[in-house]
Amino acid sequence: MINKDFFAALADLEREKGISEEVFVEALETALASAYKKQFFGDAAGVEVKLNPEKGTIRFFLTRTVVDSEEPADGEITLEEAQEIKKSAKVGDVLTEEFTPKDFTRIAAQTAKQVILQKIHETERDNTLSEFSDKEGELMSGLVRKVDARNVYVEIGKGQIEGLMLPQDQVPGEKYLAGDRIKVYVKRVKSGGRNAQVLVSRAAPGLVKRLFEEEVPEIKAGTVVVKGISREPGHRTKMAIASEDPRIDAVGACVGNKGARVNAVVAELGGEKIDIILWSENPLEFIAKALSPATVVSVTQMGEKSAVAVVPDDKLSLAIGRDGQNARLAARLTGWKIDVKSESAAAKLNLESAEAPTEE
């Protein structure tokens, strides 16, 4: 098995698969040494294998410690046996000798096959993953390959690599079935080693941004800029947008004719509500807009990045949202702590706005 023809085959694999002969040789040396040590000498023995592609040869070496005992353990040799190999050997010496392995052809063939297949698999996987190194943050279409109790495995890319969608990256309420075609956000690409993987997400805020880029040419072109997104997957998203070109209606561009653009994104997200908000460099004005769809009467700054928003009494529940969701998303979007109060409650506290929100 290990002869010049074998090494010629390694050279062919190097050309075809892009795997260097050195990588194969190193892996084979390690694997053969491990196989022979385990089968014939025990884990404590020192076995070394040297392959020479130029000469087409393979040599085996066994390293053992000389001991003054008639029953040596793995990795040891008696003084008498050692002196038969090397007359000057003494207790404590480390003796290395070349040996001819037993059952060479069978073990070598099995080991070589395993190593070659493993290296081909690893290299093809790493080559495919390297193609994804610049795909982090991108939107990709994928095919659900399988679903287990926790994770979803999605086939993505031309190389049909497997993307892993962990529980925290799945949208509550969404059902994933093998054979489904879905769009995913490439969250992280980790290449190299056995743990190489591509992590994908349906829950990341970045998914919403990329979906709007597909639907809104102005975002793709950069004339409308997404300033921030806060999201509770499966429920609601708030997206702040802006444009430096006064001729462009940023909100209108994202909504589209008769809501066509935003509705396409909503449909992809399974009905998730989306609030498109015009960003403002005035934080109080931005807070007022972020509490959409509620109408805000005034916003008062109470401290560093802390404000009170006053809304009509009949809009209080809308401003706060179910379980506080609307106010919570507005706070995440603006980066401010927001206390929402009704007009009647604010009147009792004599709150006056530091700056009233302006109409869009």
* Residue-wise pLDDT tens digits, 132-166: 777 889 999 999 999 998 999 999 876 567 899 99
Of the candidate ranges 55-59, 143-147, 233-237, 347-351, the one whose mean pLDDT is the lowest: 347-351
Per-residue pLDDT for 186 more than 90?
yes
Asked if the 4-131 domain carries CATH number 3.30.1480.10, the reply is yes
**What integer pLDDT is reported at residue 1 of this predicted model?**
44
The strand pair at 306-311 and 337-342 is best described as: parallel
The answer for 58, left when phi > 0, alpha when psi is -120 to 50, beta otherwise, is beta
Asked if the 282-360 domain carries CATH number 3.30.450.20, the reply is no
Q: Which residue has the tokens 């006064």?
A: 246
Q: How many CB atoms lie within 10 A of CB 94?
A: 12
According to CATH, what is the number of the domain 140-201?
Answer: 2.40.50.140
Per-residue pLDDT for 256 more than 90?
yes
Per-residue pLDDT for 251 more than 90?
yes
Q: How many CB atoms lie within 10 A of CB 353?
A: 19
> pLDDT confidence of 338, banded at 50, 70, 90?
very high
**What integer pLDDT is reported at residue 160 of this predicted model?**
66
Q: Which residue from 264, 267, 244, 246 is spatially nearest to 254, judged by alpha carbons?
A: 264
pTM of the model: 0.66
Structure tokens at 329: 């998303």
* Cα–Cα distance for residue pair 4/55, rounded to 1 Å: 7
What value does the mean pLDDT take over residues 85-103? 88
The residue count for the chain:
360
According to CATH, what is the number of the domain 204-279?
Answer: 3.30.300.20
**What integer pLDDT is reported at residue 192 of this predicted model?**
56
Per-residue pLDDT for 352 more than 60?
no
Higher pLDDT, 140 or 32: 140
Per-residue pLDDT for 236 more than 60?
yes
Per-residue pLDDT for 4 more than 70?
no
**What integer pLDDT is reported at residue 351 of this predicted model?**
62
Q: Is there a shared CATH topology between the 4-131 domain and the 140-201 domain?
A: no
* Cα–Cα distance for residue pair 317/116, rounded to 1 Å: 65
Per-domain boundaries in the chain: 4-131, 140-201, 204-279, 282-360
What value does the mean pLDDT take over residues 258-263? 96
Write the pLDDT tens digit of every residue in 212-226: 999 999 999 999 999
> pLDDT confidence of 116, banded at 50, 70, 90?
confident
**What integer pLDDT is reported at residue 354 of this predicted model?**
40
Write the pLDDT tens digit of every residue in 169-180: 999 999 999 999
**What integer pLDDT is reported at residue 191 of this predicted model?**
63
What value does the mean pLDDT take over residues 84-105? 87
How much is the CA Rg of the chain, to the nearest whole Å? 33
Higher pLDDT, 252 or 28: 252
**What integer pLDDT is reported at residue 297 of this predicted model?**
94
